[in-house]
Amino acid sequence: MKTQTKSPEELKETVRKKYSDISEQGKDYNARSCCGAGGESTKVYNIMTDDYSDLEGYNADADLGLGCGLPTQFAKIKEGDYVIDLGSGAGNDCFVARHETGEKGKVLGIDFAEPMINKARQNADKLGFNNVEFRFGDIENMPVSEEVADVVVSNCVLNLVPNKPEVFKEIHRVLKAGGHFSISDIVLEGELPEALREDAEMYAGCVAGAIQKETYLGYIKEAGFDNIAIQKEKAIEIPNDILSQYLNEEEIAEFNTGGTGIYSITVFAQKPGGEKKEVTMLGTDSAGYCEPGSGCC
């Protein structure tokens, strides 16, 4: 069993290297691995079971199969909006967002893996989009001015960041008053086994970096957002042949029956200062979360 504890900076470097490597992998490989970062599973394990291919703006070359939801489907993007995608990868969510915002809008993707940025720019050039930009940067310290964005989206990225409260503060900073975000991410209910929690590979694989759902939602509130709602939630299964790299048979059995839940959520929140937006929980697989008194339900 392999475990190793790393500092936040070491974890970020692990993630950067993994996602640089992933930029050269195909979607089929990533779909059989843990967010593209772990070993292949004999059971197809695509942590994103949602299918992008029917969404307008979808581009197969930009889809590496690394997400855990469809945040752009829920993001209420309007024509002319300025949209920022955090951890934009090869550009998949940016191109879907661009379809919604149109030629009058702007889409900015931010990623800290340079090979991903290069791949996304190549994809944008092929599509002839001159209002989609990809910028190298850290989402804990975005290379973006204050109060410029109407909408922020992100797909299975914040769980990879050690300092999640700082990211939510940054999102609050770059959004205009009344702007909002729709983010798909991985959260927990219950505790992961230590071997999973401390392994850098599983961190890069989107699981070990996940935190408790209520803690995650608390960070959003503490950053100054309101109108908070879970738009969709689904359970995530880790196949036993991946778990066996970290746990023995007894530990696997305990993990599978011990009540720990790993979930993909798509969460919406709004920066105060504008008209409160109505939040529709499309396709919610379990009870949604609403800020008490928000009226979002």
Specify if 287 maps to a domain. no
Answer whether residue 285 is part of any domain.
no
Q: Does 290 fall in a domain?
A: no
Contacts with 196 (C-beta within 8 Å, 6 or more apart), sequence order: 202, 207, 208, 243, 246, 247
Domain-embedded: residue 142: yes
pLDDT at 213: 94
Residues 6+ positions from 248 with CB-CB distance below 8 Å = 1
For the whole model, what pTM was predicted?
A: 0.78
Alpha helices in 61-151 (DSSP H): 71-74, 92-101, 114-127
Domain ranges, residue 109: 8-270
Please report, in tens digits, the pLDDT of each residue of the chain (297 residues total).
Answer: 444 456 767 666 666 666 656 655 554 444 444 444 444 443 333 444 555 555 555 555 555 555 566 788 899 999 999 999 999 888 888 999 999 999 999 999 999 888 889 999 999 999 899 999 999 999 999 999 999 999 999 998 888 888 999 999 999 999 999 999 999 998 988 887 777 776 655 544 556 678 899 999 999 999 999 999 999 998 887 778 778 888 889 988 888 887 788 888 999 999 999 888 888 665 444 333 333 333 332
Give the model's pLDDT for residue 196.
74
In a domain, 88, yes or no: yes
Length of the chain: 297
Query: What single-letter amino acid sits at 71?
Result: P
d(CA 212, CA 214): 6
Total domains, the chain: 1
Confirm whether 251 is domain-assigned.
yes
DSSP state of 48: -
Q: What is the pLDDT of residue 68?
A: 65
Contact 217, 281 (CB under 8 A): no
Q: Is residue 203 part of a domain?
A: yes
Determine, yes or no, domain membership for 226: yes
What CATH number does residue 257 fall under?
Answer: 3.40.50.150
